[in-house]
Amino acid sequence: MKLGVVMDPIDSINFKKDSTLAMMIEAQERNHEIIYMTSNSLFINSGEASAISSRVEVRNDPSDWFSLGDREEIKLSDLDAILMRQDPPFNSDYIYNTYILEMASRSGVNVFNNPKSLRDCNEKVFATEFPQCCTKHLVSSEKSLLIDFVNNYEDTVIKPLDGMGGASIFRIKKSDPNLNVILETVTKHFSEKVMIQEYIAEISEGDKRILVINGKPMDAAIARIPAEGELRGNLAAGASAVAKSLSERDLWICNEVGPSLVEKGLVLVGLDIIGDFLTEINVTSPTCFKEYKELCDIDVAKKFIDSVEELTS
């Protein structure tokens, strides 16, 4: 296979934790040719989806993990498959790249995940399509509705719709003296919609990440345990990772969500579950491959590249 990978600059990744690198190493071991592209290298030239790219060789070496060939212009239609691994924020540049990748998919290239679904399925809002799996929640920028939600549920968590890594997440309790300033900050003075959810006390036991490939969950979860004094179960915010077995409720949530993921061409997804509740459906660049390998002895990269090969053949 000639496999394109759209990702953030490879020289700045965190070698110890980067899931995209794990995918690339697995693909290279199977003799696939890997074509490296950054998010700003995609473009349309007279109706042809194209990119400035380089052949890349990757290594499992923390001091020397890649070598790049010469930069050259390619047509995306010359590739067999493309992995879209650009990290959020999900801004206008990200959206424009999904248009370019959708053009490539119309020419016969398999893009993972489906670029239209990446555009349609906001990672916070998409979870609300499965209210039976979620705690009480509200998506709004209306001040009165947000205040009413806090007053009704007394202990809540509010977050922007386009962030990642736990950025700008606040816990707000009823009668919090900082209520108004927090709402103003997160909504940018009530001009942007946010998600507010009832606080789930089981966050102390970890924010479980369950990776799902082609609708099927891995056989375990990675629970991100918040650091002392922290609310956020994000590795980027200092949480520690532990392996956990899947509960009956976890499996039920996976079964509720899985068919929709397959239908939408979302081949690799990370479900975030706190306690008994689905909180997010991560579709852009789900991580934790290395944590699964180290803590659960589950080789997600192998399973994912198996799926890419099967769907591209």
Bridge partners (DSSP) listed for residue 8: none
> Is 122 an active-site residue?
no
| Active-site residue identified among 162, 282, 290, 303 | 282
d(CA 291, CA 223): 10
Asked about 55 being catalytic, the answer comes back as no
Catalytic one of 113, 208, 214, 224: 224
Q: Which of 85, 208, 232, 290 is catalytic?
A: 232
Q: Among 85, 114, 207, 209, which one carries the catalytic annotation?
A: 209
Three-state SS at 218? coil
Query: Cα dihedral sign for 148, 153, 158, 164?
Result: negative
Task: Give me the catalytic one of 97, 113, 122, 124.
Answer: 124
209 assigned to active site? yes
Catalytic residue, from 159, 208, 264, 290: name it: 159
Active site residue 280: yes
Instruction: Find the radius of gyration of the CA atoms of the chain.
Output: 20
Alpha-carbon gap, residue 196 to 139, rounded angstroms: 6
Structure tokens at 176: 């919090």
d(CA 130, CA 261): 12
- Find the catalytic residue in 272, 290, 291, 303: 272
Assess contact for 121 and 266: CB atoms under 8 A: yes
Helix (H, G, I), strand (E, B) or coil at 267: coil
Query: Which entry of 280, 290, 291, 303 is annotated as an active-site residue?
Result: 280
Other C-beta atoms closer than 10 Å to the C-beta of 277 total: 19
User: Is 224 among the catalytic positions?
Assistant: yes
Report the alpha-carbon distance of residue 33 to residue 24 in Å, rounded: 10
CB count within 10 Å of CB 12 equals 7
CB 111 within 8 A of CB 82: yes
DSSP string, 139-190: EE--HHHHHHHHHHHSEEEEEESS--TTTT-EEEETT-TTHHHHHHHHHTTT
Q: Is 151 a catalytic residue?
A: no
Catalytic residues: 124, 159, 209, 224, 232, 272, 280, 282
